[in-house]
Amino acid sequence: MAGWIADFFRLLWALLYWNGRKTLFRLRPDSRCPCQSVSDSGRAFETNCDAALMWARPGRFRRVCPLLVETPDGLRCSVNAADVRPFWGRAFGFYGTGLATTYLVTTLLVFAAFRGIGYPVSYKAVAWPPAWSQINMARARYFLKKGAEALATNNIKGALFSLSYAYELAPGDYDIGFALASLWQITQPGLSDRLYARLLAEHPAKNDRTADAWHRALLARSDYAQIKELASAQFRRNDPVHAGYWMNALLFATRQSGDDVPLRRFIAGPGPLAPQWHRVVTAELLIRTGQEGQAIAGLNQIWPDATDPFVPYFQAKSLLELKQPRLTLDLITKYGERIHDDERYALRLDAYAQLGWLSLLDSDVALLLTPRPTGPIMELLGTHLAKYPNQSVLDRVFARLEAAPLAATAENHNALAVLFCAAGISGDFKKMHAAALLLDQTPNSSPLTIAGFEDFFLGKPPPRHIEAFLPSLPLPLDITYILLARYSAGHPVSPAGRRS
């Protein structure tokens, strides 16, 4: 074995050294043959090969030079000295095969190691150099998965480590950046904001998803200064699908912060404001400056240029906030199907509650609860109860829920969360706890977070503001607005401009 190993390394050297010497000999025919013994004749089949003498088995030298052959007298060179020549093809073939085999074995071992760890990498990504960038991406996807698994067990520290490392490996990957920004909003809001801003700049095709998530994160922290900037920028993109969403966000943020400047800037320019939005902003400013009569006169009519679904809803909702429920009901009837069904029901329930028309309220609630309860219906009723607590209606909703429970799925998370909050706001802590048990089983909830919300509604010390809990529990926007308006650490502003 030792001799074989020694001859193998001699072969590696000999393929280059002796072919090189022979090449020089062919270029200088008058020089001495580099490999034949000088004491022999130099004729074919009579001359020894000096190059093979030191090998453990000289016959192995034939892998370098096939001119060496067996004769009755032993190994001899089969050509005359003048005809000795190199065999570079053998050298290149040997080295090429060796390198290819080594590369194949190495890449297979690396591939097996990566897959053994759990990296979802393909063999092509390991073996093909132009595809090596996919290795980091595969590793990043692995740590993204590990982060998701850590989140599922409420291991926030582990999730942060995995997602941060994944983002280092693939800083251009949107999904990883988005997941990290969403998680950082709980523990590192400053880092979360910077990452959301970067995602907006680097991934314009994902603008809607990024901006919405960032808005919800800012809203949960009552960061109205940044919301105003974000909402203004998004509204000015002239996206007809989401214009109402961003106008609503801007109205709430400016109302809560008592800042009318962003709205006045819209009126002032630089570009013209579409007529429907000009009407919305003008009506809002009239309300905030105490000109309620003029605002009501404008709100209580069909706006022919109201093409965005948010505009009729804004009119009806503003009339409700101005304690004009009868006008709200009239406006709902005038607009008809231009107001979405869910919004029409919500506005009508709120108007009945303001008017004290309990029989009509009970009739609509009974109509909504007659079919088997669904997530959207329960969310609608829960949102109404959060605004207008009513023990009788709350009892009916929870009785129906007990008879036909909602499955604790991600699709029903919002409904269960809203009912949980509605019961907490009403002070019915038994129902609140029952909703908490269901909510705890949904994929988006954490027992610690729900327990914190329960303590908040129960008023347990130490006293904390709602902003301490909102970032950790995904909630629909409507219930978030209600909780902030009711419990915010800031100074919310009423529709008429009076601080509450």
Mean pLDDT, rounded, for 448-476: 89
Q: Are 7 and 55 in contact (CB under 8 A)?
A: yes
Among 65, 86, 107, the domain boundary falls at: 86
Among 39, 54, 86, the domain boundary falls at: 86
Specify the pLDDT at position 486: 92
Residue 493 has pLDDT above 50, yes or no: no
Nearest Cα neighbor of 35 from 54, 45, 48, 23 is 48
The reply to whether 445 falls in a domain is yes
CA–CA dist 445, 425 (Å, integer): 19
The reply to whether 288 falls in a domain is no
Q: Are 228 and 196 in contact (CB under 8 A)?
A: no
CA–CA dist 82, 486 (Å, integer): 104
Residue 444 has pLDDT above 90, yes or no: no
The reply to whether 493 falls in a domain is yes
Dihedral sign, CA of 56, 57, 58, 61? negative
How do residues 101-121 score in pLDDT, each as one tens digit?
A: 888 899 889 888 888 888 888
Residue 132 has pLDDT above 90, yes or no: no
Residue 462 has pLDDT above 90, yes or no: no
Mean pLDDT, rounded, for 326-331: 97
Residue 439 has pLDDT above 60, yes or no: yes
Residue 54's pLDDT band (cuts 50, 70, 90): confident
Mean pLDDT, rounded, for 135-151: 81
Phi/psi of residue 107, nearest 5 degrees: -65, -35
Residue 272's pLDDT band (cuts 50, 70, 90): confident
- The reported pTM is 0.77
The reply to whether 440 falls in a domain is yes
Residue 294's pLDDT band (cuts 50, 70, 90): very high
Q: Which residues form the domain of 469?
A: 371-500
Specify the pLDDT at position 490: 57
The reply to whether 127 falls in a domain is no
The reply to whether 276 falls in a domain is no
Specify the pLDDT at position 356: 96
Query: Concatenated DSSP letters for 368-393?
Result: HHSSPP-HHHHHHHHHHHHHS--HHH
Residue 191: how many CB atoms within 10 A of its CB? 15
Domain count, the chain: 2
Among 86, 109, 141, the domain boundary falls at: 86
Residue 390: how many CB atoms within 10 A of its CB? 19
Q: Which residues contact 228 (CB under 8 A, 6 or more apart)?
A: 250, 253, 254, 257, 259, 262
Mean pLDDT, rounded, for 252-277: 90
Residue 496 has pLDDT above 60, yes or no: no
Q: Are 356 and 386 in contact (CB under 8 A)?
A: no
Residue 491 has pLDDT above 70, yes or no: no
The reply to whether 459 falls in a domain is yes
Query: Concatenated DSSP letters for 153-185?
Result: TT-HHHHHHHHHHHHHH-TT-HHHHHHHHHHHH
For 32-41, 140-149, 307-316, which range has the lowest pLDDT when averaged over its residues?
A: 140-149
The reply to whether 62 falls in a domain is yes
**What is the CB-side half-sphere exposure of residue 305 using CA atoms within 13 A?**
8
Average pLDDT along the chain: 90
Residue 430's pLDDT band (cuts 50, 70, 90): very high
For 75-79, 259-263, 267-271, 341-345, which range has the lowest pLDDT when averaged over its residues?
A: 267-271
Mean pLDDT, rounded, for 197-214: 96
Q: Are 451 and 411 in contact (CB under 8 A)?
A: no
* Residue with the larger pLDDT of the pair 398 and 12: 398
- 3-class DSSP state for residue 497? coil
